Amino acid sequence: MKTLYKKELNYYLNNPLGYIIVALFAVFANFFYIKDIFVVGQASMRTFFSILPWLFLIFIPAISMRSLSEEKRSNTLETLLTLPISESQIVVAKFLALLTVMGVGLGLTLALPIGLSFFSKLYLPEVIIGYIGLLFMGAFFIALSMFFSSQSKNQVLALLISVIIIFFLLIINSDFNSAVLPKFVQDYLSYFSPNYHLQNFIKGVIDIRSVFYFVSGTILFLFLTVIDLEKRG
């Protein structure tokens, strides 16, 4: 599994596209953070953390789209599945490589809050828990995008489907829904929104229900991806 993890990670390290996607993510994320400081006059990370899921909406499907669809298109999946490595090892190795790439992207957003903490009062545990929440959310979106990548030989189609599904998950508890749906429906639906669960982390609270939501969602989509690989006729 370590071998495949290294190979997958090397793909991003040796590919300009990987750098471009991660750099774009970091540039936009830092831009939104700086905008908060200078335009809104706020050094809090909360607004920044609330915006990041919308960057994940593009960033994560973009890095995940090729994970299995490219293997299917180029038939290298046959090579991989006829080597002594299990389907679950293949899926987990690819997942961990993507999680590492996402971690690098998130890591590139750390410089500003760290720098700012020298000049203003940033409540560090809240920042750390916020980042932990983003890691959980990112892992969930990666697993989801990998599953849709396994459903098509076309990377662009995999990207589009993942973006649409993540978009709907993100808007479940939006203000628009609050305005048009009865409250009990809205409360019920909110539980399925990753944004709703991220809010707890952003407030500096590790809610076990939110951890359960992200972990179970991640495991569910990884499991479905393994099942898809095991199917193969």
Partner 1 sequence: MISLRNITKRFNQKTAVEELNLKAKEGEIIGFLGPNGAGKTTTMRIILGFLRPTSGEVFIHKLNPIEDRIEVLKMIGYLPENNPLYQEMKVNEYLQFIADIKNTPDYENVAEDVGLSDVLTSKIEELSRGYKQRVGLAAAMISNPEILILDEPTSGLDPLEQDKIRELIKRIAKKKTIIFSTHILSEVEDVATRLIIINHGQLVYDGVKPSGRGGVEKLFKKLVRS
List residues binding partner 1 (CB under 8 A): 3-4, 7, 10-11, 14-15, 74-76, 78-79, 81-86, 232-233
Distance CA 130, CA 124 (A): 10
Q: Which is nearer to partner 1, 86 or 178 (by Cβ)?
A: 86
Considering just the CA atoms, what is the radius of gyration of the chain in Å?
Answer: 18
Shortest separation between residue 4's beta carbon and partner 1, angstroms: 7
Shortest separation between residue 16's beta carbon and partner 1, angstroms: 12
Residue 233, SS3?
coil
Shortest separation between residue 75's beta carbon and partner 1, angstroms: 4
Q: Which one-letter DSSP state was computed for residue 74?
A: T
Q: Which is nearer to partner 1, 8 or 126 (by Cβ)?
A: 8
Distance CA 80, CA 191 (A): 38
Q: Which is nearer to partner 1, 77 or 129 (by Cβ)?
A: 77
Place of tokens 């890591």: 107
Q: Which is nearer to partner 1, 11 or 192 (by Cβ)?
A: 11
Shortest separation between residue 81's beta carbon and partner 1, angstroms: 6
Where helices occur in the chain by DSSP H, the ranges are 2-13, 16-35, 46-64, 66-73, 76-81, 87-107, 111-117, 124-149, 155-171, 175-180, 183-190, 194-202, 208-231
User: Within its chain, how far is the Cα of 142 from the centroid?
Assistant: 5
Answer yes or no: are the C-beta atoms of 52 and 45 closer than 8 Å.
no
Q: Which is nearer to partner 1, 94 or 197 (by Cβ)?
A: 94
Place of tokens 């919308």: 54
Q: Which is nearer to partner 1, 7 or 171 (by Cβ)?
A: 7
Q: Which is nearer to partner 1, 41 or 84 (by Cβ)?
A: 84
Shortest separation between residue 87's beta carbon and partner 1, angstroms: 9
Answer yes or no: are the C-beta atoms of 124 and 117 closer than 8 Å.
yes
Shortest separation between residue 103's beta carbon and partner 1, angstroms: 23
Shortest separation between residue 194's beta carbon and partner 1, angstroms: 33
Distance CA 52, CA 218 (A): 19
